[in-house]
Structure 1
Amino acid sequence: MHTYLIEDKAMSEAVLEPPIEESAIAPELPKPGGIAGRKKALLIWGGAAVLVVLLGLGVRYIFWSAHHETTDDAYLAGHLHPISARITGTVQQVLINDNQHVVEGQTLVILDPNDYKVRLEQAKAALDAASRRADTAEAAIRSTSQSATAQTTQAQGSIGEAKASIQAAKAAVTAAEAGVPRAHAQLQEANATLQREETDLHRYQDLYSKEQVSRQTLDHQRASYQVALAGQAAAQDQVRQAQAQLVAARQGVVRTEAQLTNSEGGLQSAQATVLEARVREGQFAIAQAAVAQAEASLQNAKLQLSYTIIKAPVSGRIGRKSVEAGQRVQIGQPLMAVVEDHPWVVANFKETQLAKMRAGQHVEVLIDTFPKHKFYGHVDSLAPGSGNEFALLPPDNATGNFTKIVQRIPVKVVLDDDSVRGYENLLSPGMSSVVTVTTR
């Protein structure tokens, strides 16, 4: 409007006043409205540019968040191995310090081994004594078994011989018993012959005295009488011999039966020796058991002696050390802990963030202790339940009022070795971190 007023005033002055030369006219002043317009335009374009940038960032964030899940409820975790005494003893040496890095198998503490060395020597002596007793029992078994076998064989042979002798003796008795009547019959026959010859002799003597027979006939009869008399004596001898043979045969039966009894006694003695061998076998088994027990005691003594040297079960760093040289420790007493190398991250994601999360997905980790270094890893596994399910007192939603709370599920993240290189001895369980998982 001010522009229009100036122009009207100039036109009226041009009508009233005489014309002047062009050189006398003042130069035209700049229009104040042009600068303001340009500023306004710049502001508009600047705002539009900022809006476009913000819109682009928003779209990018939307696309990024569609394939990423983030949580700051995460911390480092690791295996913590408590080191305790397995025997009672006095600490002789402590070879490590607090926070020191150790390797698997490295000696940490040495207990006084003298008492356990003495026990080891005692166990060795007990094993030697048990072995000697077992050897003696084994030798006794061999000797007794051999003696029992020989006695049994001899007794069985003697029994067989005795039985055969009994059979022969009984046969001899039978033969002798048959010979006695036969001898008596021969004696009776000889007596009859002698009596007849004696009668004939007396008759021939009477006839000879009457000179009815010759001297030759009488002598012949006397010879027949002498023959009959000798036959009687021979028959009597045969009877005596037959009776003697019968007695001898019967004595032979008694003698062979006694031999059989002795042989049977020898067999019983051999059987007793066999039983003794079995008893000795039982004693040998007991001796062997004593040897096995002594060997076990020796192994236990060696094991107890080995426990005087306490070693690191894994590679890691020493923490919570509470043992000093000269200290008396008991079985199970905690001495220190070894925090194992290679910690991992436990990220507690909301249950609404787990729809696309799978094992093996790429993970970016920012640890609060090292904010300028990014660690990388991958999802190892998802917990089988929420943290509340593993609490000492899990919630019971079946009673009372219910307020729905989004649960958090622990997710184990394993860090890559390359990203951890140089920080191996700096990462400690319990450090807080921010975890981002790429879910595509």
Structure 2
Amino acid sequence: MAADEGKAPEDGQDKQKKEVSPRRKLILIGLVVVVVVAGALYWFLHRNEVETDDAFTAGRAVAVAPHVSGYVTELLVNDNQFVHQGDVIARIDDRNWRAQRDQAAAAVDIARAQVQNYTLLSEVAKKNFPGHLMVAQGQLQQATLNQAEAKLREAELNVEWTTIRAPHDGWISQRNIERGTYVTAGQTVVSVVEPEVWVVANYKETQLTHMRPGQKVDIAIDAYPFLKLRGHVDSLQLGTGATFSAFPPENATGNYVKIVQRVPVKILIDEGLRADLPLSIGLSVEPTVHTE
């Protein structure tokens, strides 16, 4: 009797397990079905979207360099200041260049006086010394005046170039001069970042199958997640990033290992920008191209 009494609870538990097991199976099957349907629906809705996180904002940063050398006497801009085309950035001491211009102007005056003198001698030779006419005319056609005038124009340009002006509208960046700094011709003194900004996205080559210029793009900026930017594919670079690197791969040597390449895609921003939030160059971006 004791043995029979001990088996009774176990039989009850087995019966309870048998009743619960089918219910759990149904729940699990239901969950699997929901997951599969949700995954299929997500794939269907996003099947034509191609995205990457290997993307950055890009733009034009124009390096400004003086044409002449000298000490900076005036510095009229500050870091990150917005300037317009033609605004004065800095001025270089122009006293030496003005002196050279004055010397060139004096040389032009002398050359013009010589031309007038030879003109007079030519007229005299026509009347009194016909044999000297060719000599006088040859002296009249000398190139001294042209050379002097060319040097004067160059000297005047040098004086103008002592004033450094902004080549385009934009923000001052990488300012590396101060008042009193000695600068040389061709030395970059500041950079001007232009307002136009676009996106360069490095997509895998396997993502380019259906990508074409003109397709719509949703753009997410990490720095400003609240901005809803929209744009379009402008162009695809005709060369992978590795092709234009400083040390391009030499696939014809050694053992070859296939690596998925990336191709830069230029994306223009059409809408969503705010004037009070200009985008810096080099910000992280996540673009999504709609290839339908």
Smaller-chain TM-score bracket: 0.7 to 0.9
Q: Using the alignment, how far apart are the partners of 1:64 and 1:138 within structure 2?
A: 89
Deviation at 1:46, TM superposition (A): 10
Deviation at 1:47, TM superposition (A): 7.6
Q: Deviations over 1:301-333 (max 9, x none)?
A: 111011111011111111111101111212222
Q: Using the alignment, how far apart are the partners of 2:134 and 2:277 within structure 1?
A: 69
Q: Using the alignment, how far apart are the partners of 1:292 and 1:116 within structure 2?
A: 21
**Residue 52 to residue 107, structure 1, CA distance change in 2 (3 Å):** farther
Q: Deviations over 1:66-124 (max 9, x none)?
A: 31110100011111111222211111111111111111111101112222222222222
1:106 aligned to 2:106? no
1:71 aligned to 2:56? no
**Residue 381 to residue 424, structure 1, CA distance change in 2 (3 Å):** farther
> Counterpart of 2:164?
310
Name the SS for the 1:72 alignment partner. Answer: coil
1:127 aligned to 2:108? yes
> Counterpart of 1:422?
275
Q: Deviations over 1:33-85 (max 9, x none)?
A: 9xx99xx69x968984x666544532333224431110100011111111222
Under a length normalisation based on structure 2, what TM-score does the superposition of the two structures give?
0.86
Q: Deviations over 1:247-285 (max 9, x none)?
A: xxxxxxxxxxxxxxxxxxxxxxxxxx34x2111111111
> Counterpart of 1:433?
285
> Counterpart of 2:152?
298
**Which residues of 2 match residues 28-427 of structure 1 at below 5 A?**
48=30, 54-147=35-128, 273-274=130-131, 276-286=132-142, 289-416=143-270, 418-423=271-276, 425=278, 427=279
**Residue 53 to residue 302, structure 1, CA distance change in 2 (3 Å):** farther
Deviation at 1:128, TM superposition (A): 1.3
Aligned pair count reads 273
User: What percentage of aligned pairs have identical amino acids?
Assistant: 38
Q: Using the alignment, how far apart are the partners of 1:85 and 1:114 within structure 2?
A: 16
Name the SS for the 1:380 alignment partner. Answer: strand
> Hey, which of these two has a bigger chunk of helix by percent?
1
Name the SS for the 1:347 alignment partner. Answer: strand
Deviation at 1:395, TM superposition (A): 0.7
Q: Deviations over 1:108-163 (max 9, x none)?
A: 01112222222222222211111111121122212212445xxxxxxxxxxxxxxx
Q: Which has the larger radius of gyration?
A: 1
Q: Which amino acid in the other structure matches residue 50 of structure 2?
A: E
**Residue 56 to residue 278, structure 1, CA distance change in 2 (3 Å):** farther
Could you say what the CA RMSD is over the residues aligned between the two structures, in angstroms?
A: 2.3
Q: Using the alignment, how far apart are the partners of 1:140 and 1:298 within structure 2?
A: 27
Name the SS for the 1:359 alignment partner. Answer: coil
Q: Which amino acid in the other structure matches residue 141 of structure 1?
A: S
Name the SS for the 1:342 alignment partner. Answer: strand
Deviation at 1:421, TM superposition (A): 2.8
Name the SS for the 1:339 alignment partner. Answer: strand
Q: Contact (CA 8 Å) 1:341, 1:424: kept in 2 or not?
A: no
Q: Contact (CA 8 Å) 2:100, 2:155: kept in 1 or not?
A: yes
Name the SS for the 1:356 alignment partner. Answer: coil
Q: Contact (CA 8 Å) 1:342, 1:424: kept in 2 or not?
A: no
Q: Contact (CA 8 Å) 1:92, 1:326: kept in 2 or not?
A: yes
Q: Deviations over 1:156-198 (max 9, x none)?
A: xxxxxxxxxxxxxxxxxxxxxxxxxxxxxxxxxxxxxxxxxxx
Q: Contact (CA 8 Å) 2:227, 2:273: kept in 1 or not?
A: no
Deviation at 1:411, TM superposition (A): 0.4
Q: Using the alignment, how far apart are the partners of 1:437 and 1:80 within structure 2?
A: 27
**Which residues of 2 match residues 14-29 of structure 1 at below 5 A?**
none
